Amino acid sequence: MNALHFSTIRRTKIVATLGPASDREGVLEAMLKAGVDVVRLNFSHGTADDHRRRLTEVREIAAQLGRSVAVLGDLQGPKIRIARFRDGAVVLKEGQPFILDMALDGDAGDSHQVGCDYKTLSKDVTAGDRLLLDDGRLVLDVARVDGQQVHTTVVVGGKLSNHKGINKQGGGLSAPALTEKDKEDLKTAVEIGVDYLAISFPRHAEDMLEARRLLGEAGKEIGLVAKVERAEAVADDATLDGIIEASEAVMVARGDLGVEIGDAKLVGVQKRMIKRARSLNRAVITATQMMESMISAPLPTRAEVFDVANAVLDGSDAVMLSAETAAGDYPLETVEAMSRVCLGAEREKTAQESGHRIHEGFTRPDETIALSAMYAANHMTGITAIACMTSSGYTPLIASRIRSGLPIVGLAHNPIAQRRMALYRGVVSLPFDTSEMSATELNDRALELLVKTGISKPGDHVILTRGDHMNAHGGTNTMKVMEITDEHAKS
């Protein structure tokens, strides 16, 4: 097992999307060595065999490196897109009329009209609505709807090519979150054994609950991630809270969300989502264009550096890379740059201070112990780590909601729980098989592991949490402050 060094333990986790760039020989292993904690399989691209092969490679490399790396499957969701143009692309000019025709042949588009893959668009819009194409690069105002034709006026023109996406400003498109393709891909995700599954474009909690029902018994260990990217999802606190509470994690998917609500609102919504997810004891991922320029450049821009750093300071559990690692020229360099920025931001005092739930009461013993351990660790001198014996990873999750500069060590015998914890901010996941240990030796074996992995050394103090009955979910009821001795270093 590789020794860790406290000064270089990065608390914010990195999610990296796999694709042709990471498939190049040696690249995936180098990315995992550089610190990727979660890999993303994007079901919008590739085949089931591609995803299965990549997951298998990740598991094999992670085992060789002695690390727990989680796998996140990401369902495509409803793709609300225009169809195709006869000549591949057109240029729309400001002020010109342009028709989105649901009945037009899919390949017959020209500078006056184009078909649409989303056939109910004509029922979802009315005169006065604003449509944004190609991530907001082109803007159309709806003049009228005539049967299956949506007549618009071009407000912001430009080049428009095949299959570009359509968003309605303010939301309101009725497409369901889970398409037939998603349901088939969900089965593949269960079969290949992903740890998390991201649901695209949920409008409300019921979309997440439907996904949970579809996962069924075979997928009960898979954590659901809600990709918040529709205006309806953030329209009011109750809807957003419902989506968060129906999920194990949420993703601030800033691409489509920014188009639907506008850039000016996106800033506040991102911060509110991160804060709310942490308050509700859920993990949160910040995503989209975090280091976009590194698709073709070896260094990030200063704006990207500050974007990643602000996501860290806001309390994100993880920051995500998309095309940068899936299709870019510098996948390894991007991971290394993101890691450096995260570490730099985490050195700031504000990243280590927390008032999380300080004025709230607690109802569960495991939550009480987890939060008490973090407050004690943050205020007692000489503490080097918080070690949590856990069967499910829940205690480390609760503990990680409190900001700290100290590592939270999740000690779990279950590899699924180990990988689940790979997403949690500040949590180092280590395998800890208690099946052959007596109750009286558990604590000493845990401290020996902390020394062996380089997290603690003789003379350090560690806060240890556990339950009276190991491997029982929700059983954490004990907290101890223990000293690492020379005996713990001899084993």
Residue 40 is a catalytic residue: yes
Segment 444-447 long-range contacts (CB within 8 Å, at least 24 positions apart): 444/487, 444/488, 446/387, 446/389, 446/411, 447/387, 447/482, 447/484, 447/488
Out of 59, 79, 81, 164, pick the active-site residue. Answer: 81
Nearest to 311 by CA among 370, 374, 265, 266: 266
Instruction: Please return the burial class of 7, using the count of CB atoms within 10 Å of its CB with bins 0-12, 13-18 and 19+.
Output: exposed
Instruction: Please return the burial class of 272, using the count of CB atoms within 10 Å of its CB with bins 0-12, 13-18 and 19+.
Output: middle
Number of residues that this document lists for the chain = 491
Out of 17, 152, 286, 288, pick the active-site residue. Answer: 288
Out of 13, 84, 168, 227, pick the active-site residue. Answer: 227
Residue 288 is a catalytic residue: yes
Residue 81 is a catalytic residue: yes
Rounded to whole angstroms, how far apart are CA atoms 488 and 452?
9
Rounded to whole angstroms, how far apart are CA atoms 106 and 116?
7
Q: Residue type at 409? A: V
**DSSP H or E run through 241:** helix 237-245
Locate 279 and state its tokens: 């308050």
Q: Residue type at 416? A: I
Residue 227 is a catalytic residue: yes
Out of 11, 12, 17, 40, pick the active-site residue. Answer: 40
Annotated catalytic residues are: 40, 81, 227, 288
